A and B are shown apart, each in its own frame.
Chain A
Amino acid sequence: GAGVSQSPSNKVTEKGKDVELRCDPISGHTALYWYRQSLGQGLEFLIYFQGNSAPDKSGLPSDRFSAERTGGSVSTLTIQRTQQEDSAVYLCASSRPGQPRDTQYFGPGTRLTVL
């Protein structure tokens, strides 16, 4: 079966532009998570979706970051007015009902470079 997929795999943008990163979770996985991995840092939690709602957005670093999930499936992470410090690998993960939510399946990530 297909794993978590993310697109694009790489994105280079100019400072000040908006970007959208996409995550397609494993079919049937109701929970979805976004993480960020900055150079030399571990992964930081950004946001958690259960279905289409986001009960925990506590990791979003600023109001330039937003995310939505439609149809209980695909999620989009949007970064407005990108800054150089937004350069990182953005990882998406999902988990299925009936398993502990800390058992997460990760996608390959989107590497974002802000020039």
Chain B
Amino acid sequence: GNSVTQMEGPVTLSEEAFLTINCTYTATGYPSLFWYVQYPGEGLQLLLKATKADDKGSNKGFEATYRKETTSFHLEKGSVQVSDSAVYFCALGNSGGSNYKLTFGKGTLLTVNP
């Protein structure tokens, strides 16, 4: 079945540092890939998505590229801010008819210190 593995946290960075959160997946077919973010006390929000190989999703300075050859979708940001402190989830959507069934990683807690 489908699975998502993301780097375990917590990750602690200083403001303006470079961020990478690794995510790899196992899936059949050609799933869409997502990064969700959960700020303290809030619900999950879609951060970015990519629907096919070599697509790059980007939002709020975050980027991730769909790499089919390495089955990866690593999240990067060049200069993090304190407001980026949150839990980040990598996810994939089933390909085909059950594409609503999202499979999530366990989440990575990011803390950015001033």
> How many interface residues does chain B have, given as a range?
20 to 34
A77 adjacent to chain B (CB < 8 Å): no
Contact A91 B101 (CB under 8 A): no
Which of A12-20, A64-72, A80-88, A101-109 is the contact stretch?
A101-109
Contacts of B41 in A (CB 8 A): 108
Instruction: Tell me the residues in window 73-107 of chain B with beta carbons closer than 8 Å to chain A beta carbons.
Output: 89, 91, 93-94, 98-107
Given contacts A102-B32, A102-B34, A103-B49, contact A108 B101 (CB under 8 A): no
Contact B100 A95 (CB under 8 A): yes
Majority secondary structure, B binding face? strand
Contact B4 A102 (CB under 8 A): no
Contacts of B4 in A (CB 8 A): 42
A100 adjacent to chain B (CB < 8 Å): yes
Contact A101 B99 (CB under 8 A): yes
Q: Which residue of A lies closest to B46 (CB)?
A: A103
A45–B34 Cα gap in the complex (Å)?
A: 15
Which B residues have a C-beta under 8 Å from some C-beta of A?
4, 32, 34, 36, 41-46, 49, 89, 91, 93-94, 98-107
29 pairs from A and B in contact (CB 8 Å cutoff): A33-B100, A35-B104, A40-B106, A42-B4, A42-B105, A43-B89, A43-B104, A48-B100, A48-B101, A56-B98, A56-B101, A95-B100, A100-B32, A100-B93, A101-B99, A101-B100, A102-B32, A102-B34, A102-B99, A102-B100, A103-B46, A104-B100, A104-B102, A105-B46, A106-B36, A106-B44, A106-B45, A108-B41, A109-B43
